[in-house]
Amino acid sequence: MSLHVVVGFGPAGAATARLLAGQGHEVRVITRAGGAGRSPEAGIEHVALDASDGERLAGAAQGAVALYGCASPAYHQWADAWPALAGALCAAAEASGAVLVMLGNLYGYGPVSGPMTEDLPLAATGPKGRVRAAAWEQARALHEQGRIRAVEVRASDFFGPGVVEGGHLAGRVVPRVMRGKSVSSLGDPDAPHSWTYLPDVAGALVELAGEERAWGRAWHVPTVPARSTRQMVELLAGEAGSGPVQVRALPPAVLTLAGLFSPLLRELKEIRYQFDEPFVVDCAAYESEFALRPTPLDAQVKATVDWWRGR
C-alpha cells in the first residue's frame, strides 16, 4: 500500500494515522518527540523532527502520496509559530510531490451572520484567525501556480474519543460532566454551536486526500446539526448517568480576570464571539460530492462517554 505522512500526533493526527494504518497503508508520523514513550502500533512509524524545518520535513515525506498537516502550535503561540509551520508543509509538499492535506478550522471567517459555507471570505480580524487564513491562502496560491497539490479540511470544535484538551466541549465540559460537576459555558449556553466529531475529521482528511476533484479548495467536515452547550451537556450527562448538570454562562469579567493568570484563557477573548452567538457550519458542499457522512449524534455521545469511562 501507499506511504502517508502525518504531521502531529494530537487527537486529529493520531486518529488519522490509525485510520490509514487500519486501511493497510504505511504511515509515518512526524513529531518533535518521535516515538519516545509511545507503545508501538502496527503500520505506524514515528520520526522525531521539527516540522517547521521544511528541508528535513521534505526528506521525511519523500515517496509519500499524501502529507497531512495535523500539528498545531500551543494556542498562545499561533501568531508566531504558524507561519513557519505552514511554510514548511508547503515546501515539503512541493519537494516530495505529496498531496498536502491541511486540517483547518473556522477561525479564518471571523464573525459571520448565518451558517458558514466554504465560499465565505476569509475576513478574520483577530491574530489567530488571520494566521490560520494565511496558512491556507499560501497553500492555495501554490496550488494555483501548479507547484503543489493542496486541499484544506475545516472542522468546527471537535470532540470524541481521545480528545482531552484544545476545545471548549472536549477540554472544559466533558470532564466535568463525567464527574457530575457544574459547567461554565464560555458564552451563551443556549446559542446553537456546531461540534465536529473527531473520527469524522480523520475520515474527511483521508477521503479528500484521494479525491483529485477536491483539491485546490477548502471543505467543511460533515457535522451533525448544531446543538447548544446546554443540549450537549444534557446528552452527555444522560449517557454518563451523572445526573442533572448545572450550566451557567461564564461572565466576560471573570474570563478577563482569569486571563491574567492563564495564557490560554487570555487568548480565548478573541474567539468569544463563537459562543456568544449561533456558530453553525454548513457541510452541504462536502455531502453533495463525497461519501462521508457525520456519525449519528447518539453514537458520538456514547463513544465519547465510553472512552472517558475507560480513563
CA distance 41 to 13: 14
Contact between residue 132 and residue 105 where contact means Cβ atoms under 8 Å apart: yes
44-98 pLDDT per residue, tens: 999 999 999 999 999 999 999 999 999 999 888 999 999 999 999 999 999 999 9
What is the residue extent of each domain of the chain?
3-156+196-220, 160-194+225-279+295-310
Question: Which has the higher per-residue pLDDT, 76 or 267?
Answer: 76
Reported as a pLDDT band with limits 50, 70 and 90, residue 265 is low
Q: Do 1 and 63 form a contact (C-beta atoms < 8 A)?
A: no
Distance CA 48, CA 73 (A): 16
Query: Span 221-242, mean pLDDT?
Result: 96
What is 3-156+196-220's CATH topology?
A: Rossmann fold (3.40.50)
Q: Mean pLDDT across the stretch 99-111?
A: 97
Banded pLDDT at 264 (limits 50, 70, 90): low
- The cell for 195 is 461540534
pLDDT score recorded for residue 256: 65
Alpha-carbon distance of 209 to 262, in angstroms, equals 37
CB–CB of 230/186 below 8 Å?
Answer: no
Which residue, 87, 101, 62, 292, is CA-closest to 205?
Answer: 101
Q: What is the pLDDT of residue 272?
A: 85
pLDDT in tens, 17-48: 999 999 999 999 999 999 888 889 999 999 99
Q: What pLDDT is stored for residue 298 in this prediction?
A: 98
Question: What pLDDT score was predicted for residue 36?
Answer: 85
Per residue in 213-230, pLDDT tens?
A: 999 999 999 999 999 999
243 pLDDT tier (thresholds 50, 70, 90) = confident
Percentage of the residues of the chain whose pLDDT score is greater than 70: 95
- Asked if residue 210 lies in contact with residue 171, where contact means CB atoms within 8 angstroms, the answer is no
pLDDT of residue 228: 96
Q: Is the distance from CB of 214 to CB of 147 less than 8 angstroms? A: no
Beta-ladder partners of 102 = 69, 152
CATH ID of 160-194+225-279+295-310, from 3.40.50.300, 3.20.20.100, 3.90.25.10, 3.40.47.10: 3.90.25.10
Task: Report, as an integer, the average pLDDT of 130-145.
Answer: 97
Please tell me the predicted confidence (pLDDT) of residue 226: 98
One-letter amino acid identity for 28? R
For the cut 90, the answer to whether the pLDDT of residue 168 exceeds it is: no
Which cell numbers in the block locate residue 4? Answer: 502517508
* pLDDT score at 305: 96
Longest dimension (CA), the chain: 56
Range name among 113-117, 212-216, 250-254, 268-272 with the lowest pLDDT average = 250-254
Residues 6+ apart with CB under 8 A from 77: none
Q: How many CB atoms lie within 10 A of CB 271?
A: 23
pLDDT at 99: 98
CB 139 within 8 A of CB 152: yes
